[in-house]
Structure 1
Amino acid sequence: MPVSTTSSCSLHAKVGVVAGWPPLTSVNEAGIAQGLDIDIARLVFEHANMCVEFVRLPSAARSFAQLTKGVVDVVLMVSYTFKRKQWGYFSIPYRKERMRLFSLKQQKQPVISLMSLLSSGATVGLSIGSYYGEEVKTLARNERFTGQFIGISTIQRRIELLNKQRVNFIIEDEIIGNYLSHKLSEKPIFGWAYPIHDNDVHFLLRKEKFNESHRLRINTAIETLRPRITAMVERYRQLQAPNEHK
């Protein structure tokens, strides 16, 4: 994929791209990375006077392994966990993600809690290797709900299995779910307002590539560009707006 080039770049870094998450991260037929988080990364690293090359990753589940091996120097859209802190330096948050439930059927009653859905026998499709917050983490460890969380590698496959009613719900980033449910689903898919996980996301920077000075420059760029980033996020939120039910 093309490299942002300028003679004054103080550092060159490889940024990992999971191709299957449009409109946040994807790769077009020409091999060019595109999407909201790609746009934000280009903006931030250019402002920090750093050149970036976007490298396609095989899956989200393997992104951290690729970071620790030095295949990439930056992973996008990373939720903070203590374990992940071992793998690199976290930037300050550059935007928020909002994880929401999506289903084929409109429910007559509001979603009170994820536990109440699971107690009714519902199954939930999830991305393998993604973090969905403490509620999901705790329930997934509960023997009572063994087998009701289904790890599914791609959103395309999750939507396919939802259409086939192999799972009752999927959990997706709100922007991705709203966009792809219109593009990929044979049937109407409904987004739910229940907040599975509202969470800051960061750049995760490989320690062997970035030092504290680099991290501070990236953080300063994020702070300076915050109004522009917020406007970009809002534009992407308006790409598709499915029916939402409380």
Structure 2
Amino acid sequence: MTRHAALFLVVSILTSLSLPASAQNAACSKKLTIAFFDWQPYHYRDENGTPTGLDIELLRETFGAAGCAFELKVMPWKRTLLAIKFGTIDGSLGASRMVEREQYAWFTRPYRRETMVMFMRLKDLEKKNVMSIADVVSGKNRIGILLGSWYGDEFAALYKADPKLRKYILQTPEYEVLFTWLVKDRVDVVFNDLFNGIHILKKMNALDRVGVHPALLNDDYIHFILSKLTVPRTTVEAIDKAIEDFQSTEDYTTILHKYVPPEQLTYMPLQ
């Protein structure tokens, strides 16, 4: 070996030792642009304009462990999907896996579950002793739902089979209005996402008056979604491994408990 070759080898070794793990394994070769929109408590901007929320915390933990630097960009959801499709951004969070999206996007390992549940006043939960979605729907309960939302196949089938059910449905485009109706006895049941509902009830100081029915409306996996045009498969694999490792730690559960009380998580399997 020549003196020049030996010197080059030493410099190369020292350079590789000084690089972060992410650069050494080349899992993420660039900073990723990740889009989000305001959807509390998953991803939103606080009073200082800083991105925060459950999904943002999980993003930081898992992408950080995978060695993937990222920057966050506010963008409406429909525009986000188009941007991922055409590669003008790298990805987003809070995505459900769909066949049409798989044509242009990678989906990571699920990092949480999205659970649609039925919120009821505690006194009614104790009194009515209803144990199924059909019981709630057929019991002439006034049901508050968000305009345009999906609440699972079972409710959709019950709604289609019984035209009379429509007169018991009250709809609004505002989540907070649903729970105001429930607390003020304008509806008997509110259909909503578990974490979002708990978040709103916390702000209303109404968790001591409202509970969650044990029957699930819908239960789905939630993923990070990444553009196939700009993100290599090796990056997705590194993020998948980071998610898997993080979900087995106490820190993962601690983050979940910041947003939903431990007793409510019995309605949402973590794995």
| TM-score grouping bracket, smaller chain normalisation | 0.7 to 0.9
Number of aligned residue pairs: give it. Answer: 233
What are the Cα deviations for residues 115-134 of structure 1, in whole angstroms up to 9, with x where unaligned?
A: 22222233433445655433
RMSD across aligned positions (CA): 3.4
2:44 counterpart letter in structure 1: S
For residue 220 of structure 2, what is the aligned residue in structure 1?
Answer: 199
Change (3 A) 1:79 1:213: same
TM-score, normalising length: structure 2: 0.69
**Quick check: 1:66 aligned with 2:88?**
no
Q: Which shows bigger deviation, 148-157 or 110-119?
A: 148-157
Matches within 5 A, 1:1-246: 10-22=29-41, 24-58=42-76, 63-70=77-84, 73-86=90-103, 88-104=105-121, 106-107=124-125, 108-127=127-146, 131-142=150-161, 144=163, 145-146=165-166, 152-184=172-204, 188-228=209-249, 230-236=252-258, 239=261
Deviations 1:37-88 (A, max 9, x none): 1110111112222222223345xxxx14422134754332233343443463
Structure 2 unpaired stretches of 5+: 1-19, 267-271
CA contact (8 A) 2:33 2:73 kept: yes
Bigger share in helix: 2
Report how far residue 33 of structure 1 moved. 1.2
The 3 A distance-change label for structure 1 pair 183 and 143 is same
**Residue 32 of structure 1 aligns to which amino acid in structure 2?**
T
Query: Which one-letter code corresponds to 1:69 in the other structure?
Result: A
Which residue does 1:3 correspond to in 2? none
Partner Cα separation in structure 1 for residue 185 and residue 43 of structure 2: 27
CA distance in 2, matches of 1:96, 1:198: 7
Which stretch shows the higher mean deviation, 119-128 or 174-183?
119-128
**Structure 1 residues not aligned, in runs of 5+:** 1-5
The AA in structure 1 aligned to 2:129 is P
Equivalent-residue separation in structure 2 for 1:52 and 1:215 (angstroms): 14
Q: Which is further off, 87-96 or 38-47?
A: 87-96
> Max radius of gyration: which structure?
2
Please, what TM-score do these two structures have when normalized by structure 1?
0.75
Partner of 2:8: none
Structure 1 residues 159 and 238, CA gap change in structure 2 (3 angstroms): closer
Distance 1:191 1:157 in 2: 18
Separation in 1, partners of 2:162, 2:65:
48
Q: Structure 2: how far apart are the matches of 1:167 and 1:68?
A: 38
CA distance in 2, matches of 1:72, 1:152: 32
More strand by share: 1
SS at match of 1:82: coil
CA distance in 1, matches of 2:78, 2:174: 17
Instruction: Report the CA distance shift for 1:80/1:163 in structure 2 as closer, same or farther (over 3 A).
Output: same
